[in-house]
Chain A
């Protein structure tokens, strides 16, 4: 069996290493151990779960002196047992990526560009906008007809229909919980996310 350097490197990261090497018919264990050693010798491995599809594969994040040095399939994870698909194998580039947003950005009405702002300013302005919109568009009571009697009845509704909230499938459970709690606390009913679409 022919083996290129590229596929050899790929194999060297697999957990079923010994089995796969045996299949190749020659012993690569010494060489592969060296490659492995170079890459992650003194790095700290932290388990995470893939952020893409919902299979929930385990991934190990390797950090050396505060820097991300590698990310690969978690061999101890019962579902993926070290394997990853094309997306899972690319999670390294989610952190090491010049396109990541590094600062809060603001776009003024009518403007054609972003301006960098600090967090404090952004959170303050967002809270002010949310309060203003909510307070100006808040329904406390709604009058409905009671079907049995045909009479009108006032029902407390405490809602605003002027603000919407989208998203959640990319958030953690704890984040989803707080997000819906805050939004319901503000009286939102337009609370929706990816599961609907």
Chain B
């Protein structure tokens, strides 16, 4: 989230798309309700299914799964054709007036530079025109055809209301209302929040879906302001923190890119030269990288050995190591061992039977969990023959969150401390102690080695105690300290690139700024701010800032755009930024000084990126492409049906509408959680939703002769499952250019273990992912439904 949960109370309009907070983030609605009551805010819900969020919305718009870019593209077109964007903001705080290379083109769904063999782009033309010094040229009159705003206007002129509604299936009158309501948020004194979740991201165009939301918020001048922002409602209690900590192949802690086996990453110096921008806050990357290497390898990381840079594993530059790739490697037998800490891919993974089978090829697997999950017990799943499965499985009992202590980061980036309330159940242990013991044991095995390839593990700085792990030492290392004196660093601004400081994760540096002050433990809930920043409750990264890019909340003179939307403002008497939040900006840089109106400090040019230079693999502007399984035979916006850059793993497993005419999506229930182990083993929750079902609209049920409660078979190009039919009015058929297309939905929580069991929805979903992140396309695929037996 750029903003945070309590900030929802400051909004004038909540555009909720690809999420269902009333059911899946229920307490967030406390703050939306407050916005409705206190300031007359409105709620728009866009979703294929009418949910409890829709029931609380002022406008509900149905939208076929996988058509977000069409939906948002139509809003761009309306705003740009009618000049309804926030002009001062757009002109000064975004790259809208900057000029783009004349070689940049867009034709029939493809941007300039496409290579169909490689299914990828050369980004040579996706760049600014620059002057002799390399500074981008701009046209503040917005008259040049090469300026970003005009290119955007041209790009989206195809997204007229008729074409959009033919693709999304949204009723035209409802869409018209949404255009008017959303565009009104371009007024200086109004802000809209966009709230989204996995309904947005789990698509072959998931990243571009999110990007389209960010661009909309830039056009409306809603980033960096109270009640605004782009707000991801994350699914797990610490998925924000685990992402920040880079339990992902492509990043290191604090969003530093993982080095790859290519000449420009061959040495630390080369890596830093290549990856460090000349301007913007990322120009400090060498300090963060070297401090991280010092945290990893301690005394063994010295200037003479590039601070142990060569100890970091480097990726094969041509390979992808994401979840889908990991299981494809497993399916081929290339993976020999696997650790699974509280993750259950046999239920939660795409095309889950492939993933279960891949586990059969392992020599060994370690599962760490509170429960016997479907993944831990994959060898005894229905249809499996244990005698033929040679995988050795180690299942370690982990303790529950309140049987140990530590911090977690919520969606609003608040790093909150949890204390231990009760002793662990049985012999279960904290994951921290398990990881520490495993580290201690491995270190012992490698202690005497003189082999060069063992140096990275032999020299790993691992000093957290024997038996129980000293969590305070871990917290200090994450925050960072002076490597000579051990004194804690006050924040990331004090990190150095000469080895004199360490910090395991620079973005969290500042959470433990001095002895005795772990700020994540703060519980002062008195808050005098009008906008509810709660600066003395826990600690929010970065630097306790609650609203990211909050320099945008003030105009060119440094005054708030509107009195009730004030976050920080320039105080000329004190010559600094003051207000209700920690400035996400140089605190003493006056608005009239160079850079004083460049609020996007992480960007090299300090401006919001309406035109994405080379950030996205599909191109600078989001373009609508159909899902891998699509009910359409042609894309009304261009000749490209599928996202031109996605990697196709299993071409034979594409669902087509002749065999599978119904669109399907997975979704979640209030009473269950993720792959289900944490709720299907809990009697109170299992009782509330005991069985697996497919939700079917009344119109489709009638057509198929299916009654509520019937057993049905749901089939896709990947497999089929049996479950109950739940017939409701919450799904309604879509009218796509005169053609009727139905959609159904399946909760993805069920599996064969636990108290509440059921067949697994992900047997049906495809092994294909987004063009940038490879997140699986769980939210738009094709099925057929028939009565069982």
Nearest A residue to B688, CB-CB: A86
Q: Are B335 and A190 in contact (CB under 8 A)?
A: yes
Cα–Cα distance between A9 and B441 once the two chains are bound (Å): 51
| Complex interface bits, B219-243 against A, C-beta within 8 A gives 1, otherwise 0 | 0000000000000011111111111
Q: Are B247 and A180 in contact (CB under 8 A)?
A: yes
Q: Are B395 and A192 in contact (CB under 8 A)?
A: no
B window 369-412: CB within 8 A of A: 369-372, 379-380, 386-398, 400-404, 406-412
Q: Are A171 and B431 in contact (CB under 8 A)?
A: yes
Cα–Cα distance between A97 and B437 once the two chains are bound (Å): 26
A residues within 8 A CB of B261?
A: 142, 144, 155, 157
Q: Are A111 and B336 in contact (CB under 8 A)?
A: no
Known: A54-B236, A87-B685, A102-B397. A172 touches B371 (CB 8 A): no
- B342: CB under 8 A from chain A? yes
Cα–Cα distance between A181 and B503 once the two chains are bound (Å): 12
Q: Are A53 and B25 in contact (CB under 8 A)?
A: yes
Known: A144-B261, A158-B313. A83 touches B27 (CB 8 A): yes
Cα–Cα distance between A55 and B432 once the two chains are bound (Å): 23
Q: Are B245 and A168 in contact (CB under 8 A)?
A: yes
A residues within 8 A CB of B671?
A: 86-87
| Complex interface bits, A126-170 against B, C-beta within 8 A gives 1, otherwise 0 | 111111010001101010101100000101111111111111111
Cα–Cα distance between A76 and B526 once the two chains are bound (Å): 10
Q: Are B525 and A52 in contact (CB under 8 A)?
A: no
Among A24-32, A34-42, A116-124, the stretch that binds chain B is A116-124
Cα–Cα distance between A63 and B679 once the two chains are bound (Å): 23
Cα–Cα distance between A100 and B323 once the two chains are bound (Å): 27
B window 273-328: CB within 8 A of A: 295-296, 310-317, 321-323, 325-326
Nearest A residue to B477, CB-CB: A177
Q: Are A172 and B25 in contact (CB under 8 A)?
A: no
Cα–Cα distance between A155 and B422 once the two chains are bound (Å): 50
Among B114-122, B449-457, B555-563, the stretch that binds chain A is B449-457
Among B616-624, B657-665, B699-707, B771-779, the stretch that binds chain A is B771-779
Known: A109-B392, A144-B317, A187-B456. A102 touches B425 (CB 8 A): yes
A residues within 8 A CB of B387?
A: 110, 112
Q: Are A93 and B684 in contact (CB under 8 A)?
A: yes
Cα–Cα distance between A63 and B32 once the two chains are bound (Å): 34
Q: Are A54 and B411 in contact (CB under 8 A)?
A: yes
A residues within 8 A CB of B239?
A: 54, 168-169, 193-195
- A91: CB under 8 A from chain B? yes
Known: A54-B237, A153-B266, A190-B321. A179 touches B435 (CB 8 A): yes
B residues within 8 A CB of A47?
A: 418-419, 523
Q: Are A174 and B474 in contact (CB under 8 A)?
A: yes
Q: Are A161 and B334 in contact (CB under 8 A)?
A: yes
| Complex partner residue of A158 from B341, B371, B453, B534, CB under 8 angstroms | B453
- B537: CB under 8 A from chain A? yes
- B595: CB under 8 A from chain A? no
Known: A129-B364, A153-B263, A174-B432. A165 touches B248 (CB 8 A): no
Distance in Å: Cβ of B340 to nearest Cβ of chain A: 5
A residues within 8 A CB of B407?
A: 172-174
Q: Are A123 and B441 in contact (CB under 8 A)?
A: yes
Q: Are A161 and B329 in contact (CB under 8 A)?
A: yes
Cα–Cα distance between A182 and B392 once the two chains are bound (Å): 22
Q: Are A170 and B335 in contact (CB under 8 A)?
A: no
Q: Are A102 and B427 in contact (CB under 8 A)?
A: yes
| Complex interface bits, A96-113 against B, C-beta within 8 A gives 1, otherwise 0 | 010111111111111110
- B445: CB under 8 A from chain A? yes
Distance in Å: Cβ of A79 to nearest Cβ of chain B: 5
Distance in Å: Cβ of B774 to nearest Cβ of chain A: 7
Q: Are B395 and A104 in contact (CB under 8 A)?
A: yes
Distance in Å: Cβ of A88 to nearest Cβ of chain B: 8
Distance in Å: Cβ of B101 to nearest Cβ of chain A: 22
A-B contact count (CB 8 A): 487
Cα–Cα distance between A186 and B316 once the two chains are bound (Å): 16
Nearest A residue to B472, CB-CB: A174
Among B136-144, B160-168, B345-353, B493-501, the stretch that binds chain A is B345-353
| Complex interface bits, A34-68 against B, C-beta within 8 A gives 1, otherwise 0 | 00000000000011111111111101011100111
B residues within 8 A CB of A168?
A: 238-239, 242, 245, 247, 341-343
- B544: CB under 8 A from chain A? no
- B683: CB under 8 A from chain A? yes
A residues within 8 A CB of B295?
A: 181
A residues within 8 A CB of B534?
A: 78
- A196: CB under 8 A from chain B? yes
Q: Are B523 and A166 in contact (CB under 8 A)?
A: no
Q: Are A155 and B262 in contact (CB under 8 A)?
A: yes
Q: Are A144 and B311 in contact (CB under 8 A)?
A: no
Q: Are A142 and B316 in contact (CB under 8 A)?
A: yes
Nearest B residue to A59, CB-CB: B402
Cα–Cα distance between A47 and B335 once the two chains are bound (Å): 41
Cα–Cα distance between A84 and B330 once the two chains are bound (Å): 40
Known: A54-B239, A55-B27. A185 touches B296 (CB 8 A): yes
Q: Are B453 and A127 in contact (CB under 8 A)?
A: no
Cα–Cα distance between A95 and B404 once the two chains are bound (Å): 12
Q: Are B24 and A53 in contact (CB under 8 A)?
A: yes
| Complex interface bits, B457-495 against A, C-beta within 8 A gives 1, otherwise 0 | 100101010000101001101100000000000000000
| Complex partner residue of B775 from A101, A126, A197, CB under 8 angstroms | A197
| Complex partner residue of B296 from A107, A184, A188, CB under 8 angstroms | A184
Q: Are A188 and B313 in contact (CB under 8 A)?
A: yes
Q: Are A122 and B263 in contact (CB under 8 A)?
A: no
B residues within 8 A CB of A104?
A: 394-397, 427
Cα–Cα distance between A62 and B422 once the two chains are bound (Å): 8
B residues within 8 A CB of A57?
A: 27
- A176: CB under 8 A from chain B? yes
- B28: CB under 8 A from chain A? yes
A residues within 8 A CB of B510?
A: none
Q: Are A165 and B339 in contact (CB under 8 A)?
A: yes
Q: Are B237 and A49 in contact (CB under 8 A)?
A: yes
Q: Are B394 and A55 in contact (CB under 8 A)?
A: no
Distance in Å: Cβ of B748 to nearest Cβ of chain A: 10
A residues within 8 A CB of B441?
A: 123-124, 126-127
- B673: CB under 8 A from chain A? yes
Nearest A residue to B384, CB-CB: A112
Nearest A residue to B672, CB-CB: A87
Which has the most chain A C-beta neighbours within 10 Å: B330, B683, B776?
B683
Q: Are A84 and B27 in contact (CB under 8 A)?
A: yes
- A33: CB under 8 A from chain B? no
Cα–Cα distance between A142 and B316 once the two chains are bound (Å): 8
Known: A167-B368, A196-B248. A181 touches B504 (CB 8 A): yes
Q: Are A55 and B28 in contact (CB under 8 A)?
A: yes
- A11: CB under 8 A from chain B? no
B residues within 8 A CB of A158?
A: 310-314, 453, 456
A residues within 8 A CB of B505?
A: 177
| Complex interface bits, B235-273 against A, C-beta within 8 A gives 1, otherwise 0 | 111111111111111001100001001110110000000
- A20: CB under 8 A from chain B? no
- A178: CB under 8 A from chain B? yes
Cα–Cα distance between A120 and B13 once the two chains are bound (Å): 56
B residues within 8 A CB of A88?
A: 27
**A-B contacts, 15 listed (Cβ < 8 Å):** A49-B237, A49-B408, A77-B525, A85-B26, A97-B425, A100-B426, A101-B395, A133-B336, A164-B339, A165-B247, A169-B342, A179-B247, A182-B438, A185-B460, A192-B247
Which 5 A-B pairs have CB atoms at the shortest separation, nearest pair first?
A102-B426, A61-B421, A56-B410, A172-B406, A167-B341
A-side residues, CB < 8 A to B, are: 46-57, 59, 61-63, 66-68, 71, 76-81, 83-88, 90-91, 93-95, 97, 99-112, 114, 119, 122-131, 133, 137-138, 140, 142, 144, 146-147, 153, 155-197
